[in-house]
Amino acid sequence: MNIIKIIPIMNLPIIKENDDLAALICEAAEKQGTPLQDGDILIVTHVIVSRAEGNVVNLDEIVPSEFAKKLAMQYGRDPALIEVVLRESRSIIRMGGGHIISETKHGFICANAGVDRSNVPGERNVALLPKDPDESARRIRRKIKDLTGRDVAVIISDTHGRALRRGQINVAIGVAGIKAIRDRRNERDLFGYTLRIKQTAIADELCSAAELVMGQADEGIPAAIIRGYQYERSEDSTAKDLIWPREKALFL
C-alpha cells in the first residue's frame, strides 16, 4: 500500500527580490526534519517566485489609461490595479459582476490576469505572474539538484476560480521534471472497457493537494512537498499542456 504524504514547508523567511528560493526551501525542509528526497514533488506558490524574481509592481508608479479608469469607476476598483491587469492580459475573456477574466500572456485564463495583491509586502505593491513559470520551475529544480543532488519535480501553483463550479482551487502554472497531464486514453478499466476520454490533469491535482497544507496556517504556507506519488518524468513537459487549444474550447 502506497501512502502519499503532503508535507508543509514551515518557517520560510519572507521572500525578497533576488532571494535564492531553492536554497531557502532546501534549508527549511532540512531544518524541519523532512529534507527533499529523490522523487519528491515540490509545490511553490507563484507569489514567492514572483517576489524572488522581482516581478512586483508598485501601483503608485502606474499611470492608468482612460479604459482602465472607466472600468475601475464601474467596478469600484483601483484604476492602477486595473491598468496592470490590462497590461498583463493578452485578451479579455469575460467581464461582469466586478470581475475581469482574462487570458494571460502565457495563455492561462483566470481572474485579473493572475495579478495578486495578497501576500505581497508594501501596501501598494502587487505581484504579477512569473514571466515564464515553466522556466522558474526548471531553475528551482536545477538549483535543488545542484545543492542536494536530489531529483525533485517542481510545480509553480496559483489559485484559480472555475467557470463551471463555485470556489477556487490551486492549479499549476509552471512545471519541471514531471508530465503535467497523464494520458490514460486506451488504457482498460477493471472490466476491460477501454477508457475513451481520460487525461488526468495530474499537475493541477498535485497543486490542489498541496493547498490543503498551504491554506492551513493563518499566515499561509508558500511551499509543500508531495512524497510517495509515482509520476511520469519529463524534461520537456510544460504547464501549457493544461491550456485548451482555442478550437477545442467549448466555453470560450
Binding mask 115-144 for a second copy (x = CB under 8 A): --xxxxxxx---------------------
Distance CA 13, CA 144 (A): 18
Residue 138, φ and ψ in degrees, nearest 5 = -60, -40
Q: Are 239 and 153 in contact (CB under 8 A)?
A: no
> Which residue number, 41 or 139, has a Cβ lying nearer to a second copy?
41
Q: For a second copy, which residue of 211, 223, 237, 238 counts as binding (CB under 8 A)?
A: 211
* Among 146, 220, 232, 233, contact with a second copy (rule: CB under 8 A): 220
**Residue 1: all three cell numbers together:** 500500500
- Point out which span in 17-25, 51-59, 137-145, 202-210 binds a second copy (CB under 8 A): 202-210
Positions in 56-95 near a second copy (CB under 8 A): 94
Number of residues that bind a second copy (CB under 8 A): 82
> Rounded to an integer, what distance in angstroms lies between the CA atom of residue 212 and that of residue 198?
25
- Work out whether 28 is an interface residue with a second copy (CB under 8 A): no
CB nearer a second copy, residue 68 or residue 171 = 171
- Selected from 22, 115, 155, 180, the binder of a second copy by CB under 8 A is 180
For position 186 contacting a second copy by CB under 8 A, the verdict is: no
Select from 13, 76, 149, 167 the one that contacts a second copy (CB under 8 A). 167
Nearest-CA neighbor of 44 among 2, 18, 15, 85?
15
DSSP 136-155: HHHHHHHHHHHHH----EEE
Asked whether position 230 contacts a second copy by CB under 8 A, the answer is: yes
Closest CA to 197 of 179, 184, 181: 184
Kind and range of the H or E run holding 109: strand 109-111
Query: Is 31 a residue that touches a second copy (CB under 8 A)?
Result: no
Q: Which stretch binds a second copy (CB under 8 A): 84-92, 128-136, 147-155, 179-187?
A: 179-187
Binding residue for a second copy (CB under 8 A) from 43, 85, 109, 113?
A: 109
Q: What is the distance of C-alpha 58 from the center of its chain?
A: 22
16, 70, 99, 233: which one binds a second copy (CB under 8 A): 99
Determine the interface stretch with a second copy among 63-71, 109-117, 130-138, 147-155 (rule: CB under 8 A).
109-117
Cell numbers given for 35: 529534507
**Is residue 248 at the binding interface for a second copy, with CB under 8 A as the rule?**
yes
Instruction: Report the sign of the C-alpha dihedral through residues 161, 243, 80, 126, in that order.
Output: positive
Q: How many CB atoms are closer than 10 A to CB 172?
A: 31
Among 16, 70, 131, 162, binds a second copy (CB under 8 A): 162
d(CA 104, CA 115): 10
User: With binding defined as CB under 8 A, does residue 101 bind a second copy?
Assistant: yes
Distance CA 176, CA 139 (A): 9
Q: Does 190 bind a second copy (CB under 8 A)?
A: yes
Q: Are 71 and 60 in contact (CB under 8 A)?
A: no
